[in-house]
Structure 1
Amino acid sequence: MRHIDFNTAETLLLFASVLSLTIAKFIDEQKFHSFIMLFVNYKYLKIFSKEPNQTTTPFNFFLFVPQLICFTLIVWIGIDIFKLPININPYLILPFLFLFILFKFYLEKMIATIFDITSFVESFHFHKVTYRNLAALLLLPLISLLIYSNLNIKIMFYIILIVFISLNIISLALTLRNHQKLIGKYLFYFILYLCALEIAPYLILIKFYFIDKASN
């Protein structure tokens, strides 16, 4: 169970999210506005997906931080909601998730180099991360409402979980749609990529970190 007075951990993490978005806007205000406009048009993706190494720029890193924090808070609150016998705080979940995503990212780059599909994987990854960064902007107000309101925490968590899963499915669907021509060209490699890097890592993570610990 979480017993943190005044929601200190949640407040610090949510503040870090807002601060990170502010820094991203300060780094490139025009680009940030283009990113926000993804809600109504695809100009941001059309322009910046053509530039190399977009995912690893400081601007995209600060946009990624709120996504990481949202994921961390959902996992942490979920442990409490489902009463899993795991004693961990968000300050440990966050770096663990960051290292997991970092490992996955460089594994993707290595496999892309081996299969000679680097440009395709970079573009695919940039689209996917961008949509998920945008989804984090929608999740942050919901998570804040869960933490600071008097609404039923379980109902709110299930709503957030449904929205979180739905947004990830939508982001993947949009990314697949935007790359349907290239996917047809690299279909075999894409299937390997999808199974090895988009499905298997999360199944392994759930199996060894949550199910195994919960059963002990």
Structure 2
Amino acid sequence: MLRDLYTVDILTLTFIGCLIIVALSKTLFTKRFNEFILLLFNSRHTNLYIKEQRFFDLFEGLLFLNFILNLGLLLHTYLNEQSLNRLPQVDVFKYALLIGLFLILKVLFERLLSSVLDIEPIIDKYIFEKTSFQNFVGLVLLPINALLIYTLTPNQTLLITLLAILLALQFFGLFLFIKNNLNVFRKSLFYFILYLCTLEIAPYVVLYKIITTNWV
């Protein structure tokens, strides 16, 4: 049964926009998209396209846009559940913009740091795989957001469970990356652990604090 909806114009338009973005990426890059959706089951996508990665890749750019918009939708739903008053739906775009800028600046800093530590090859591959899994999470979020917006009544337990599942997907990607590159890590394991601690944990805590402090 569909839940009683308040105005969902912006949420609906955002969701439709995400569907269009995904459809466009599949239409323009059919072969790559079909390989991409099997990311959890094999490394074919990574092996084929990591050597072709550029500063800006249209396929990755489209899926990245879908990811930040869907994450903005989910974050809005979560924070709206935590807030005493309904949050403006336009905040979805604020969340998406902040997340997008944060991730882009983070990647730029990661590349700079990898150059300083002389671990560019392994970090370049890691960034590619991490970005791929982020974009995959964006696809997973599409049906989840549809259910949260139009069918299910969000509650804290449900939302935390969903966030835990999404984090598990990201950690699964990290596990696969480490598993497939054990030989390389023997040469730079210390620096990679240092990298993970400083750039894969602390920044997200800071980002969450910024969002919850300023927009809830």
- TM-score, reference length from structure 1: 0.85
Question: Which residue does 1:69 correspond to in 2?
Answer: 69
Within 5 A, what are the aligned runs for 1:62-211?
A: 62-83=62-83, 89-149=91-151, 151-154=152-155, 156-210=158-212
Aligned pair in 2 of structure 1 residues 11, 156: CA closer, same or farther (>3 Å)?
Answer: farther
Equivalent position of 1:27 in the other structure: 28
1:147 & 1:83 partners in 2: Cα distance? 17
Q: Quick one: distance in 2 between partners of 1:135 and 1:46?
A: 20
Report the 3-state secondary structure (helix = DSSP H, G, I; strand = E; otherwise coil) of the residue aligned with 1:37: coil
* Structure 1 counterpart SS, 2:42: coil
Compute the displacement of 1:169 (Å).
2.3
SS of the counterpart of 1:38? coil
Instruction: Provide closer, same or farther for how the CA distance between residues 104 and 4 of structure 1 changes in structure 2, counting only shifts above 3 A.
Output: farther
SS at match of 1:56: coil
Q: 1:61 to 1:93 in 2, by over 3 A?
A: same
Q: In the alignment, residue 82 of structure 1 is paired with which amino acid?
A: Q
Judge which range, 122-131 or 168-177, deviates more. 168-177
**1:50 aligned to 2:51?**
yes
What secondary structure is seen at the aligned counterpart in 2 of 1:153? coil
The answer for the alignment partner of 2:19 in structure 1 is: 18
Residue 31 of structure 1 aligns to which amino acid in structure 2? R
> Following TM superposition, by how much is the alpha carbon of 1:4 offset from its aligned partner in structure 2, in angstroms?
5.6
| Alpha-carbon offset, residue 9 of structure 1 | 1.8
Mean Cα displacement is larger for which, 19-28 or 83-92?
83-92
Q: Hey, what does 1:59 align to over in structure 2? A: 59
Of all paired residues, the percent bearing the same amino acid is 27
Paired amino acid for 1:189: Y
Q: Give me the whole-angstrom Cα distance separating, in 1, the residues matched to 2:135 and 2:25.
A: 12
Structure 1 unpaired stretches of 5+: none
Q: Which amino acid aligns with 1:183?
A: F
> What's the secondary structure of 1:193's corresponding residue?
helix
TM-score, structure 2 normalization: 0.85
Equivalent AA in structure 1 for residue 63 of structure 2: L
After alignment, is 172-181 or 132-141 more displaced?
Answer: 172-181
Task: Give the number of equivalent residue pairs.
Answer: 209
Kept in 2: contact 1:24–1:62 (CA 8 A): yes
Question: Residues 23 and 168 of structure 1: is their aligned pair in 2 closer, same or farther, counting only changes over 3 Å?
Answer: same
Distance apart, 1:199 and its partner CA: 1.2
Instruction: Quote how far apart the aligned CAs of 1:103 are.
Output: 0.9
CA displacement at 1:168 relative to structure 2: 2.2
Give the direction of change, closer, same or farther, for the CA distance of 1:106–1:86 in structure 2 (3 Å limit): farther
Root-mean-square deviation (Å): 2.5
Given that residues 69 and 93 in structure 2 are in contact (C-alpha distance below 8 angstroms), is that contact kept between their aligned partners in structure 1?
A: no
2:80–2:87 CA contact under 8 A, matched in 1? no
Instruction: Please list every run of at least 4 consecutive aligned residues from structure 1 whose deviation after the TM superposition is greater than 6 angstroms.
Output: none
Q: CA offsets, 1:22-57, max 9 Å, x none?
A: 22223322111111232443211121123343x731
Question: What is the CA–CA distance in structure 2 between the aligned matches of 1:117 and 1:84, rounded to whole Å?
Answer: 47
- SS in structure 2 at match of 1:104: helix
> Take 2:198 and 2:187, find their aligned partners in 1: how far apart are those partners?
19
Which residue identity is paired with 1:194? L
Q: Per-residue deviation at 1:194?
A: 0.8
